[in-house]
């Protein structure tokens, strides 16, 4: 959910790709990494076909081992593509590489579904998903989105939290405001990404706990392939933790968005608990070591319950939110955003001038500069748009990547 591959010059998975490539090199192995460009909310079956066909195109030399790595829904794509029982609408030769597959790594993946998908499958939720996806891209690429548009989204989310009913006109106005913020620098890729979310949201139905119950019944692990996972939870939001977010207007808004998403994801249904019937003593021991006690059924990373993230061997567990584990956390330096590459740099520009202003003022500032927006990532630390208070940092990210890379290398 909310993810993308590469839009304009912003590479969503670059931190993970660089970290794994470096660790393979340190082990004397060459890793050739490819990011699969899939529609972010499309059917898992369609996404799995795109995955299988990309691997076929890039691994046609018939040599070397193959590893699949999937974050969030991507982990389900990997499991479906590798399953012996899957029936994918693609030519058999596009699956010949399965004989060379050695590992499948899933990270923050909703193997047993997530309650958040149930909300996003509603009419109001579909529009909310679109708005949050736009906000994610703006937040990661620009550093922080215009406050007026983000504030309106918080108002809409507040109504969701109380009643699960949203005034659609408010959502539409919020989405329009976010898109207008993109207009000075929008590209065909960005527009295509957002349009794809409007056209196909099949995965939202498929990621509900009820639908994932059927997914589990029909998908098999491939013999001889190592399955491993990384699992994360964020601390439950509290009035105290929310008060600590008031270091600036964007921090408060981001914390409010995360708090609402956490609350929806924490909803629990005994009939569909978003967890295995029994995780096992090994998993319990790993969780107790990471958190001091086994997490409850409501614990989640803001998008996926932690007990839903367990599949295969747990190689890492820790406090993090859904985007932290990809390298999108406070203090991490990311590549320069697409705004600077399209507009160019301009001396003396202040991030605060754009990111801390109302939407109308933001657009006026950009227009006054002849379309020149600030470059917060080049001049400052990355702004973590999901303020979860998990405390995830570069040391934790390094430990996560060490664990994932070791499992993959051991499977070679």
pLDDT digits (tens, 9 = 90+) for 156-193: 555 554 444 445 555 566 666 666 655 544 566 777 77
Q: According to the model, what pLDDT value does residue 375 have?
A: 37
Average pLDDT of span 191-208: 79
Q: Which residue has the tokens 């590459």?
A: 341
Burial level of 26, CB count in 10 A (0-12/13-18/19+)?
Answer: exposed
Parallel, antiparallel or unpaired: strands 10-11 and 6-7: antiparallel
DSSP collapsed to 3 states, 93-151 = HHHHHHHHEEEEEEECCCCCCCHHHHHHCCHHHHHHHHHHHHHHHHHHHHCCCCHHHHH
Please say if the pLDDT value at position 395 is more than 90: yes
pLDDT over 70, % of the chain? 68
Please say if the pLDDT value at position 101 is more than 60: yes
Dist. CA 54–CA 61, nearest whole Å: 13
Higher-pLDDT residue of 190, 82: 82
Structure-token pair, residue 349: 């520009």
Q: According to the model, what pLDDT value does residue 376 have?
A: 35
CB 156 within 8 A of CB 166: yes
Query: In whole angstroms, how far apart are CA 124 and each of 106, 127, 159, 160, 286?
Result: 29, 5, 11, 9, 38
Specify the pTM: 0.80
Please give the DSSP secondary-structure letter assigned to residue 236.
P
Triad 67, 68, 69: Cα angle to 5°: 120
CATH 3.40.50.1820 boundaries in the chain: 6-113+205-238+272-329+393-411
Fold of 6-113+205-238+272-329+393-411: Rossmann fold (3.40.50)
pLDDT over 90, % of the chain? 47
Higher-pLDDT residue of 112, 122: 112
Please say if the pLDDT value at position 394 is more than 80: yes
Which 3 state secondary structure label does DSSP give 313? strand
């Amino acid at each position: 959910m909310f993810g993308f591959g590469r839009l304009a010059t912003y590479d969503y998975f670059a931190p993970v790709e660089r970290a794994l490539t470096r660790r393979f090199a340190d082990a004397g192995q060459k890793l050739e990494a490819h990011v699969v460009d899939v529609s972010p909310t499309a059917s898992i079956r369609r996404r799995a076909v795109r995955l299988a066909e990309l691997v076929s195109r890039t691994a046609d030399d018939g040599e070397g081992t193959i590893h699949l790595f999937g974050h969030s829904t991507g982990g389900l794509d990997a499991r479906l593509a590798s399953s012996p029982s899957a029936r994918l609408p693609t030519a058999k030769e596009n699956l010949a590489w399965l004989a060379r597959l050695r590992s499948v790594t899933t990270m923050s993946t909703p193997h047993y579904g997530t309650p958040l998908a149930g909300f996003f499958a509603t009419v109001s939720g579909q529009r909310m998903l679109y708005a949050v996806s736009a906000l994610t891209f703006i937040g990661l690429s620009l550093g922080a989105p215009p406050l007026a548009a983000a504030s309106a989204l918080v108002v809409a989310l507040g109504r969701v939290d109380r009643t699960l009913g949203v005034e659609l006109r408010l959502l539409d106005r919020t989405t329009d405001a976010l898109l207008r913020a993109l207009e000075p620098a929008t590209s065909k890729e960005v527009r295509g990404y957002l349009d794809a979310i409007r056209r196909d949201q099949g995965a939202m139905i498929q990621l509900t706990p009820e639908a994932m119950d059927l997914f589990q019944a029909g998908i098999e692990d491939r013999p001889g392939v190592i399955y491993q996972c990384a699992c994360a939870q964020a601390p439950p939001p509290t009035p105290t933790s929310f008060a600590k977010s008031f270091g600036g207007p964007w921090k408060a808004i981001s914390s409010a968005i995360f708090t609402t998403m956490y609350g929806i994801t924490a909803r629990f249904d005994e009939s569909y608990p978003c967890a295995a019937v029994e995780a096992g003593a090994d998993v319990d021991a790993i969780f107790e070591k990471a958190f001091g006690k086994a997490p409850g059924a409501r614990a989640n990373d803001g998008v996926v319950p932690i007990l839903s993230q367990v599949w295969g061997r747990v190689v890492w567990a820790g406090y993090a939110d859904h985007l932290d584990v990809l390298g999108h956390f406070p203090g991490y330096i990311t590549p320069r955003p697409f705004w600077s590459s399209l507009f160019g740099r301009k001396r003396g520009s202040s991030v605060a001038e754009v990111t801390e202003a109302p939407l109308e003022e933001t657009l006026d500032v950009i227009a006054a500069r002849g379309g020149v927006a600030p470059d917060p990532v080049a001049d400052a630390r990355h702004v973590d748009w999901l303020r979860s208070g998990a405390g995830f940092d570069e040391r934790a990210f390094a430990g996560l990547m060490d664990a994932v890379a070791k499992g993959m290398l051991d499977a070679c």
